[in-house]
């Protein structure tokens, strides 16, 4: 993976980059990827694990992640049919990023809560 010249890149997100991030970092995708980072999962395992996702949203999310090459869909020829979803090599590269996001949120969450309380308290003054 040629990751040279990390300092002279424009460092602004282009449309193509944002489109990819939008398809991969949305609400449901994050949770699916988070689960698959741990181990491959079957469809209904994900459904149970993700709390309140509907079948429709989960299907759409899995299809989108598959289309973008983040996950692989493996049909096991058992009876009845079983389908397993697992991280692709490309998708596996997301582990570190999700990890970093997790640690960042964990660190700032207290400060964020304070900021929210402060903001919500400022309702009657000179805004």
Partner DNA sequence: CCGCATCCTAAAGGATACTG
Partner DNA sequence: CAGTATCCTTTAGGATGCGG
DSSP element (H, E) containing 50: none
The torsion defined by the Cα of 100, 110, 38 and 36, in degrees rounded to 10, comes to -80
Residues in the chain: 127
Instruction: From the list its own copies, DNA, none, pick the one residue 8 interacts with, judged by a Cβ distance below 5 to 8 Å according to partner type.
Output: none
Q: Is 9 helix (H, G, I), strand (E, B) or coil?
A: coil
Residue 70 binds DNA (CB under 7 A):
no
Residue 44 CB, shortest distance to its own copies, in Å, is 19
Residue 53 binds DNA (CB under 7 A):
yes
Question: Which residue has 């402060």 as its token pair?
Answer: 118
What are the beta bridge partners of residue 53? none
In this chain, which of 15, 56, 124, 125 binds DNA, going by CB under 7 A?
56
Binding positions for its own copies, rule: CB under 8 A = 1, 3, 6, 9, 11-13, 16-18, 20-22, 25, 27, 30-31, 34, 37-38, 66-69, 88, 90, 93-94, 96-109, 111-112, 114-116, 119-120
């Amino acid at each position: 993976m040629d990751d040279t010249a990390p300092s002279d890149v424009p460092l602004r997100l282009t449309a193509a980059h944002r489109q990819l991030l939008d398809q991969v970092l949305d609400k449901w995708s994050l949770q699916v990827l988070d689960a698959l980072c741990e181990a491959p999962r079957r469809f209904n395992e994900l459904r149970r694990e993700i709390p309140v996702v509907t079948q429709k949203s989960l299907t759409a999310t899995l299809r989108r992640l598959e289309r973008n090459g983040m996950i692989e869909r493996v049909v096991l020829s058992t009876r009845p049919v079983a389908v397993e979803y697992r991280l692709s090599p490309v998708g596996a590269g997301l582990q570190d990023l999700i990890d970093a996001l997790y640690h960042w949120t964990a660190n700032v969450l207290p400060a964020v809560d304070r900021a929210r309380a402060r903001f919500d308290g400022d309702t009657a003054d000179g805004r």
